[in-house]
Chains A and B, each alone.
Chain A
Amino acid sequence: MKDQVEKIIKFHNVSKVFPGVKALNSVRFDIEKGEIHALLGENGAGKSTLLNILHGVYTEYDGEVHLNNQAVKFKNANDAIHHGISKVHQEVSLIPELTVGQNIVLGYEPKKGMLIDNKLIHEQANEILSKLRCNFKSEDKAGSLSTGEMQMVAIAKALYHKAEVISFDEPTASLSKSETDSLFEIINELKQNGITILYVSHRLEEIFEICDRATVLRDGTFIESFYVKDVSKEQLIRKMVGRDVSSFAVRNKKGMIGEETVLEVKGLTINNVYEDISFHLKKGEILGFFGLVGSKRTDVIRTIFGAEKKTNGAILLNGKEVDIKSSEQAVKLGLGLVPENRKTQGFLKFFNNADNIALTKLEKFTKFGLVSHKKKTENCETYINEINLRPANPHYLTHELSGGNQQKVVISKWLSSDASILFLDEPTKGVDVGAKAEIYRVMEGLLEKGKSIIIVSSELPEVLGMSDRIIVMREGHKVIELKNNGLKEEDVLQYAMGVTKNESQVI
């Protein structure tokens, strides 16, 4: 079996047209049985559309999908699951009030007569969970699990349905390093057991770490399939974007740091969350906050922004102590926050680009108590050019844009309010390579205008590439402050993981 490569899935000239848009254009490639196959491309390249076809979400398309050399056409997602094709979603949604086991078998509960056989559920579920080496039980409530554990439940669910193919869509987006590592171990084990994996991720390092082959899509068209070990990171990116983009966060200009200290934080504390955080930020500086999941870096900046209540400590803006009690006050003081979760915190689903961008400082467009829609639109147009928003239309709903363009809108909110200190929390999460580079350029543009930036990110290359200084946090404490003079990833990571203090106890 191993020598002769067997194709488990064949996409045969698959096209999908949404009214007016060709999302997929005669896509044709194969996936080999038992491999880990990466699906690559920028946002909007057609990855999700292809996955949705494979998983039976979209039922109308042209061309054929072959499963084990047989043309299949799934009626719906359930039908696909019955055919052994399961999906582990980007954000796993479990029903928190049900037990893990109940979540796993949901909709397919084994019965004893008329009643659900709870004993059998837990037996079967625990067997799968132990295979996945989970240290929680089927009887536990799903709501008590961490994100990583929830993902394991999703995998268990796929195994319960005897999946032959499992696709992972950005599975590591909200996982800690150790959770990511154990996920990769499991994925490799699934592979050993003959399960085929389709893997979608924006984190290229991961592709190189676990994937055998990769297929690149661009603008709905198939570009190339290749063995991952045959290409370099740069080559891979070039294939994805079709042009040379330095995906890596690189500062083109350095040394814009001014004399004045614009923000100083002293002994900031929220009891039982984080403790004694002190740092300062200079005009024209980018300060990076790095830490693994659970390091509470997001909580620190949310506190400064007035979104969480501090128990202790002082915040000084331009040398003057301020008591920020609400985000409203923070915004008035010239702060801006690009929050971690764009969709739930960053912008409004029902608002178009012009309205979203204007929201932070409506006064600008208000005369005699009336808001001018025309002025809001004009305001939006200036930022459309500045940030290269696509599609370049103020009246388009932000919600309908790609992740990268949504993020550009969220950043524009603070350009519009003319914030002098900007907090960027995971600014490039779920953002494609091209938009990433553009966001980095916007950041540099802000420095030139004398603004200051704090960037929080779990992508180390980003923090290293963009920051002048880096503060490393771990479990609610500031571990160290590092000047970014040729720092290496390992240097920062060891502090973040606490390796330097206690070699054996890596979280």
Chain B
Amino acid sequence: MKAKLFSREASLIFAIIMMVIIFSAIEPIYLSGGNLLDIFDQTVINGLLAIGITYAIITGGIDLSIGSIFAVVIVITGDLLVRGMNPVLAITIGMALGFVLGVVNGLLITKLKLQPFIATLGTMSAYRGIAYIYTGGWPVLDIPDNFRSMLAGDVVKDVPVSVIILIAFTIVSHIVLKYTKLGTYIFAIGGNEEATKLSGVNVDRTKILTYALCGVGAALAGMILLARLGSGEPATGQGYELNAIAAAAIGGASLAGGKGNMIATLLGAILLSALKVGLVVVGVDSFWQYIATGAIIVVAAYSEVIQDKFKKLRLVKNKNNNKNTNYPKSVGM
């Protein structure tokens, strides 16, 4: 059970609890309902983007275009809603749009063999352009209330729909990674693409699906923001990809591929928002918040390095005194 105690999830939960204790000791308001809701609100957007990008990161790739997909989905679904489309249909179209834009990323990466960084740097700009052109640079205003209450309302009192969506997306993604062929292939590609291909895996299809899922995460996030604000701007979501990467990295996803965990990514996103909100609540100057965020990322990355070292030691120890001690499972799985 020792292994569990040192797991990424456990240490993240510990870090979050510590943070809550410290902030609420300084400023008891931190623990108030309204404030916690604030943390969750912030987590939802970044969490969905981060879960999506974790798929890409595990394959050894990256998706820089999620902030732009986010914007495209916001303005197009927003416009459809304003024109009176049924909200359920609009949501479906929004998700399909995210999926398709992700597929385009996947095609660029697999068929044109572009590096994921470059391919999605290109689409980051191009998709942003689409969002601007679609609205002519204007915001989409007056989103109908039926849509807004559907995504920004509460399921029951004080339980926002958006939080449920985030949790559901996380759980589904966790199951996909751990218990489906697709998930196994995603890990396999991140570990060694050549060996995976030679094992008879359709690497291209897997990668395309990966980026499609990434797009779906961005689409969900976009529509939730649209519902919350009641309006959408083509300029929205710039730089969001970096927050998402930060959450995934704090969650232990390796940019070299082959490692990652959806639950830990979600915890990473919670940690980031808890920190940001906390700093505001205790009255830290907003410029210092950047430094604090940066420090958290570096500390999290370094703890991963240390953890790896311990793992290696444990492995060697186990080599001899054998049987069912805590062998590492396939990493990340």
Q: For A358, what are the chain B residues with a Cβ–Cβ distance below 8 Å? A: 184
| Interface members, chain B 296-324 (any A CB < 8 Å) | 313, 315-323
Residue in A closest to B322 when the chains form the complex, CB atoms? A391
CB of A5 within 8 Å of the partner chain: no
* Contact of B180 with A350 in the complex, beta carbons under 8 Å: no
A18–B321 alpha-carbon span in the complex (Å): 12
The CA-CA distance from A124 to B210 in the complex, in Å, is 53
Residues from chain B with a CB closer than 8 A to the CB of A328 are 197, 200-202
Q: Which of A18, A19, A327, A366 contacts B198 (CB 8 A)?
A: A327
Residues of B within 8 A of A351 (CB): 187-188, 191, 330-331, 333
Main secondary structure of the interface of A (DSSP, over half): mixed
A348: nearest residue on chain B (CB-CB)? B191
Most chain A beta carbons < 10 A, residue from B190, B315, B316, B330 = B330
A307 within 8 A of B: yes
Is B327 at the interface (CB under 8 A from chain A)?
Answer: yes
Contact B320–A20 (Cβ < 8 Å):
yes
Q: Which chain B residues lie closer than 8 Å to A350 at the CB level?
A: 187, 190-191, 258-259, 330-332
Given contacts A331-B200, A350-B330, contact A366 B181 (CB under 8 A): yes
Q: Is A330 close to B, CB under 8 A? A: yes
Give the docked Cα–Cα distance between A370 and B315 (Å). Answer: 29
Chain A hits for B190, CB < 8 A: 350
Interface size bucket, B side?
35 or more
Given A348-B195, A393-B327, A396-B327: A359 and B188 interface contact (C-beta under 8 Å): yes
Q: Knowing A19-B313, A21-B320, A350-B258 touch, does A413 contact B187 (C-beta < 8 A)?
A: no
C-alpha spacing A344/B199, complex, angstroms: 12
Say yes or no: is B196 at the interface (Cβ < 8 Å to chain A). yes
Residue among B191, B200, B202, B321 making CB contact with A417, cutoff 8 Å: B200
Per the 8 Å Cβ criterion, residues 387-440 of A in contact with B are 391, 393, 395-397, 400, 413, 417
CA distance A179 to B152 in the complex (A): 71
* Chain A interface residue count, Cβ-Cβ cutoff 8 angstroms: 44
Is B6 interfacial (CB-CB < 8 Å)?
Answer: no
Q: Contacts A352-B329, A352-B330, A397-B330 known; A307 to B198 CB distance under 8 Å?
A: yes
Q: Is A480 among interface residues, defined by CB-CB distance under 8 A?
A: no
Complexed CA–CA distance, A360 and B202 (Å): 11
CB of B199 within 8 A of CB of A20, answer: no
A194 to B198, CA, bound (A): 47
- Is B184 within 8 A of A355, CB to CB? yes
* Contact present for A362 and B184 (CB under 8 Å): yes
Q: Which residues of A contact B330 (CB under 8 A)?
A: 348, 350-352, 354-355, 397
Q: Are B319 and A359 in contact, with the CB atoms below 8 A?
A: no
**Contact present for B200 and A345 (CB under 8 Å):** no
Check B199–A360 contact: CB distance below 8 A: yes
Q: Check if A19 sits within 8 Å of B316, measured CB to CB.
A: yes
Binary flags per residue of B99-136, CB closer than 8 Å to A gives 1, else 0: 00000000000000000000000000000000000000
A349 in contact (CB, < 8 A): yes
Closest residue of B by beta carbon distance from A307 = B198
**A11 close to chain B: CB less than 8 A:** no
Q: Quick one: which of B183, B200, B322, B330 has the most chain A CB within 10 A?
A: B200
18 additional contacts, CB 8 Å, given A20-B318, A331-B200, A366-B180?
A18-B316, A19-B313, A20-B317, A21-B316, A328-B201, A345-B192, A345-B195, A345-B198, A346-B195, A348-B188, A350-B190, A350-B191, A351-B191, A351-B330, A355-B330, A355-B333, A358-B184, A417-B200
Q: List the 8 closest pairs (A to B, CB-CB), nearest first.
A: A331-B200, A350-B331, A20-B320, A348-B191, A395-B327, A350-B191, A20-B317, A19-B317
Between A and B, 21 residue pairs with Cβ closer than 8 Å are A305-B198, A326-B202, A327-B199, A327-B200, A328-B197, A337-B198, A339-B198, A344-B194, A345-B194, A345-B195, A348-B188, A351-B333, A355-B184, A359-B199, A360-B200, A370-B180, A371-B184, A373-B179, A391-B322, A396-B327, A400-B319
